[in-house]
Amino acid sequence: MSRLLEATGIVKRYGHVTALHGADFSADAGEVVALIGDNGAGKSTLVKVLSGVVAPDEGTIQIKGNPVTLGSPLGARAFGIETVFQDLSLAPDLGPAENAFVGRELVKPGLLGWFGVLDSSKMRRQAADAFMSMGTNLMTLLDEPVATMSGGQRQSVAICRSIMWASEVLFLDEPTAALGVVQTRNVLDLVRRVAARGVAVVLISHNMQQVLEVADRVEVLRLGRRVAQFRAAGTNIEQLVGAMTGALDGSAA
Amino acid sequence: MTLPQSDRADSAAAEQSAVSAPPPIRRRPLRRLLTTSPVLMSAVLLFLVIVFSAIRPDAFPSLANAQNVVMDAAALLVMAVGMTYIMIAAGIDLSVGSVLVFAGVCSAKVMGAIGSDNWGTVLVGLAVALAAGLAWGLFNGLAITKLRVPALITTLGTLGAALGAANLVTHGNDVRTVPLTLIEFGVGGPFGLSWIVWVAIAVAIVGGLVLARTRFGRHTYVIGSNAEAGRRAGINVDNHLLKLYGLSGLLAGLAGWLSLARFATTTIAGHSTDVLAVITGVVLGGTSLFGGFGTVGGTVVGILIPTALSNGFIIVNVEPFWQEVATGFILIAAVYVDQIKRRARDRA
Ligand SMILES: Nc1ncnc2c1ncn2[C@@H]1O[C@H](COP(=O)(O)OP(=O)(O)OP(=O)(O)O)[C@@H](O)[C@H]1O
Ligand SMILES: [Mg+2]
**Using one digit for the tens of pLDDT, what is the confidence trace for B169-193?**
888 888 888 888 888 888 877 887 8
- For residue range B252-307, what is the model confidence (pLDDT) as tens digits? 999 999 999 988 888 888 888 889 999 999 998 889 888 888 999 999 999 998 88
Report the chain A residue with the minimal C-alpha distance to residue B233: A103
Residue-averaged pLDDT of chain A? 87
pLDDT score of A210 = 87
CA angle A116, A118, A123 (to 5 degrees): 145
Contact between chains at A130 and B13 (C-beta distance less than 8 A): yes
pLDDT band at B207 (very low <50, low <70, confident <90, very high): very high
Picking from A87, A75, A78, A120, the residue whose alpha carbon sits closest to that of residue A101 is: A120
pLDDT score of B61 = 82
pLDDT band at B36 (very low <50, low <70, confident <90, very high): low
Contact predicate A64/A41, CB 8 Å:
no
Picking from B284, B207, B225, the residue whose alpha carbon sits closest to that of residue B36 is: B284
Q: What percent of chain A has pLDDT over 90?
A: 29
A43 or B41, greater pLDDT: A43
Q: Which of A2-6, B80-84, B297-301 has the lowest mean pLDDT?
A: A2-6
Average pLDDT over residues B322-346: 82
Host H or E run for residue A68:
strand A66-68
> Which residues neighbour B171 within 8 Å (Cβ) at sequence distance 6 or greater?
none
- Ligand closest to Cα of A36 equals 1
Residue A7 identity (one-letter amino acid)? A
Q: Which of residues 5-44 of B touch A (CB under 8 A)?
A: 5-7, 9-10, 13-14, 16-17, 20, 22-28
Ligand 2 centroid from CA A48, angstroms: 10
pLDDT band at B13 (very low <50, low <70, confident <90, very high): very low
Contact predicate A136/A185, CB 8 Å:
no
Q: How far apart are CA B78 and CA B207, in angstroms?
A: 9
- For residue range A86-145, what is the model confidence (pLDDT) as tens digits? 888 899 999 999 999 998 998 889 888 888 898 888 999 998 888 888 877 787 788 888
pLDDT score of B155 = 96
Average pLDDT over residues A26-52: 91
Contact between chains at B17 and A163 (C-beta distance less than 8 A): no
How high is the ipTM of this complex?
0.86
A166 or B238, greater pLDDT: B238
pLDDT score of B33 = 54
Contact between chains at B4 and A130 (C-beta distance less than 8 A): yes
Contact between chains at B226 and A89 (C-beta distance less than 8 A): yes
Contact between chains at B215 and A145 (C-beta distance less than 8 A): no
Average pLDDT over residues A223-247: 83
B346 contacts in A (CB within 8 Å)? 92, 147
Average pLDDT over residues A211-219: 90
pLDDT band at A2 (very low <50, low <70, confident <90, very high): low
Q: Using the predicted structure, report yes or no on whether residue B104 has a pLDDT greater than 90.
A: yes
Ligand 1 centroid from CA A83, angstroms: 17
Q: Which atom of ligand 1 is nearest to the CA of A46?
A: 18
Q: Considering Cα of A75, then A81, then A87, then A89, what sign does the dihedral take? A: positive
pLDDT score of B323 = 81
Which residue's CA is the closest to the ligand 1 atom numbered 4?
A14
Ligand 2 centroid from CA A35, angstroms: 11
pLDDT score of A137 = 78
- For residue range A170-210, what is the model confidence (pLDDT) as tens digits? 999 988 887 888 888 888 888 898 899 889 999 998 888 88
Q: Using the predicted structure, report yes or no on whether residue A65 has a pLDDT greater than 80.
A: yes
Q: Which of residues 235-294 of B touch A (CB under 8 A)?
A: 235, 288, 291-293
Ligand 1 centroid from CA A171, angstroms: 17
Residue A4 identity (one-letter amino acid)? L
pLDDT score of A98 = 92
From A10, A18, A39, A44, the mutation candidate for ligand 1 (largest count of ligand atoms within 8 A of CB) is A44
Under DSSP, is residue A187 helix (H, G, I), strand (E, B) or coil? helix
Kindly tell me the number of DSSP H helices and DSSP E strands found in chain B: 15, 0
A125 or B334, greater pLDDT: A125
pLDDT band at B135 (very low <50, low <70, confident <90, very high): very high
From A10, A25, A45, the mutation candidate for ligand 1 (largest count of ligand atoms within 8 A of CB) is A45
Write out residues with Cβ below 6 Å of ligand 1.
A 14, 17, 19, 37, 39-45, 86
Average pLDDT over residues B31-59: 78
A133 contacts in B (CB within 8 Å)? 1-4, 16
pLDDT band at B322 (very low <50, low <70, confident <90, very high): confident
Contact predicate A68/A62, CB 8 Å:
yes
Average pLDDT over residues B115-137: 93
Q: How far apart are CA A82 and CA A189, in angstroms?
A: 18
Residue-averaged pLDDT of chain B? 85
pLDDT band at A249 (very low <50, low <70, confident <90, very high): low
Contact predicate A33/A4, CB 8 Å:
no
- A66 burial (CB, 10 Å; 0-12 / 13-18 / 19+) is exposed
Contact between chains at A129 and B226 (C-beta distance less than 8 A): no
pTM for this prediction: 0.86
Q: How far apart are CA B205 and CA B211, in angstroms?
A: 10
Contact between chains at A104 and B233 (C-beta distance less than 8 A): yes
Strand partners, A25: A7
pLDDT score of B31 = 52
Picking from B64, B59, B312, B53, the residue whose alpha carbon sits closest to that of residue B193 is: B64
Range of B65-69, B81-85, B297-301 with top mean pLDDT:
B81-85
Ligand 2 centroid from CA B278, angstroms: 43
Q: What percent of chain B has pLDDT over 90?
A: 47
